[in-house]
């Protein structure tokens, strides 16, 4: 299983989701490949945003080795699942999708009332709430992957 997390610039939410979900999947004994990308190209090759690195590090997650990249046509074939952090990212990734897309594309979070956005802390400055949501989403995803593996 190969999973790609997607946000706008690939410097806050999606790299955090990649690192957090990877840590939780490893702890659960899952063999899954995780990566992250952005819909935009503003930060190509840059590390995640320093305040996000610091906030994630305080919770025990290391984002320092990750580098921003933009989603490309190869990702639609190379990943089984692409998880968008908000509805705008979802719309953008579907608008860019090739006709022969193989990946399933959906929102990262599903709330009680349906899909839920992870607010962008680059703009909101609320890294803790974003990390709370990402941790909850990562735990739910790992539980789903374990359930699928048990079938």
Catalytic residue check, 35: no
Marked catalytic residue, from 75, 86, 117, 120? 120
Marked catalytic residue, from 7, 22, 69, 117? 7
Marked catalytic residue, from 2, 12, 13, 117? 13
Catalytic residue check, 13: yes
DSSP structure string for 44-84: TTPPPPHHHHHHHHHTT---TT----B--HHHHHH-SEEEE
Spell out the per-residue pLDDT of the chain, length 151, in tens.
999 999 999 999 999 999 999 999 999 999 999 999 999 999 999 999 999 999 999 999 999 999 999 999 999 999 999 999 999 999 999 999 998 888 999 999 987 777 899 999 999 999 999 999 999 999 999 999 999 988 7
Catalytic residue check, 120: yes
* Kind of pairing between the strands at 81-84 and 109-111: unpaired
Q: Measuring CA to CA, which residue among 20, 11, 4, 5 is closest to residue 120?
A: 11
pTM for this prediction = 0.96
């Amino acid at each position: 299983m190969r999973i790609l997390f997607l946000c706008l610039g690939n410097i806050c939410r999606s790299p955090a989701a990649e690192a957090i979900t990877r840590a939780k999947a490893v702890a659960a004994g899952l063999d899954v490949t995780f990566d992250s990308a952005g819909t935009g190209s503003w930060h190509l090759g840059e590390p995640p945003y320093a305040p996000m690195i610091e906030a994630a590090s305080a919770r025990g997650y290391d984002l320092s080795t990750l580098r921003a990249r933009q989603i490309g046509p190869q990702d639609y074939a190379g990943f089984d699942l692409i998880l968008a952090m908000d509805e705008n990212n979802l719309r953008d990734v579907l608008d860019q999708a090739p006709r022969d897309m193989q990946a399933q594309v959906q929102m990262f979070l599903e709330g009680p009332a349906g899909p839920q956005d992870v607010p962008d802390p680059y703009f909101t400055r609320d890294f803790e709430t974003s990390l709370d949501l990402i941790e909850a989403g990562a735990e739910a995803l790992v539980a789903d992957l374990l359930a699928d593996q048990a079938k």
